[in-house]
Amino acid sequence: MSIKVILVDDEGGVRELLRKIIERKEGFDIVGECENLADAVTLFTKTRAEVIFLDIEMNGSNGLECAKIIADMEPKTKIIFATAHSEYMSDAFEVYAFDYLIKPFNVERVYHTLDRIKAFNESDEKENLDKIIKYERGLEKLLVKGKESMSFVDIGDIILVQRENSATVIYTKKDSFTTSASLSDIEAKLDGEQFMRSHKSYLINVSQIKKIEPYGRWTYIVTFKDIDKDALMTVEKYEEIKKRFL
């Protein structure tokens, strides 16, 4: 299945250039483009593109805030800032950009980015809706209330907690639970020695890590022993976890 791409830039010539480059690369499908940030979130919501080429300065607006909104909706969206402004690179780091391309583009540099995207492409699953209402510390469980039921989730069974579609999903080996609680709410209820906030959108059970590999320029990807899911990890957290085990 082709990787869906959208282009967001107020210069039609830039969008045309990127379109020609991307169309030459097998496995990508440009599903939309727009020339302003106001339409970018709407276009992303409509297409659920996996990759966004996003300018930073467009008609007086700043693309970083747009990137934050999209990253919160779907953390694994690969945001590639394509801009003439190199001074925003450190800010792009804060929103975990997959890459940062400086105009005028080097075609081979764009191809390199597309190759890395293909290597990391994956799909996500959506699950049922429940709600965490409290944590019973003595029982070492999270009490999760559904519409007509209550579930007790063993803390030790939790492998991954992540932001997904503006909600929070808790994954165990066999089940998943979606909640309106924030990652910070859940993080405050879990043991900091066992669970790590590996990224602004992910909370992971350190004992369940199988492998950590490079992902983007400033991030790593974490795979787990017992579930076919993965998480992102910042370079700072990568250095922190190395110190724990080395």
Using the CB atoms, write b or e for 77-98: b if 16+ within 10 Å: bbbbbbbeeeebbebbbebbbb
Q: Give me the tens of pLDDT residue by residue for the chain, a chain 246 residues long.
A: 789 999 999 889 999 999 999 999 989 999 999 998 889 999 999 999 999 999 888 777 778 888 888 888 888 889 998 888 776 676 665 666 788 888 888 888 888 889 888 877 643 323 333 333 333 334 467 766 544 556 678 888 999 999 988 788 899 988 888 887 788 888 887 888 889 999 999 999 999 999 999 987 788 999 999 899 999 999 999 999 888 776
- From the list 153, 160, 157, the residue with the least C-alpha distance to 135 is 153
The two structure tokens encoding residue 141: 């469980």
Predicted structure pTM score: 0.53
Q: Which domains are seen in the chain, by residue range?
A: 3-120 (3.40.50.2300), 131-245 (2.40.50.1020)
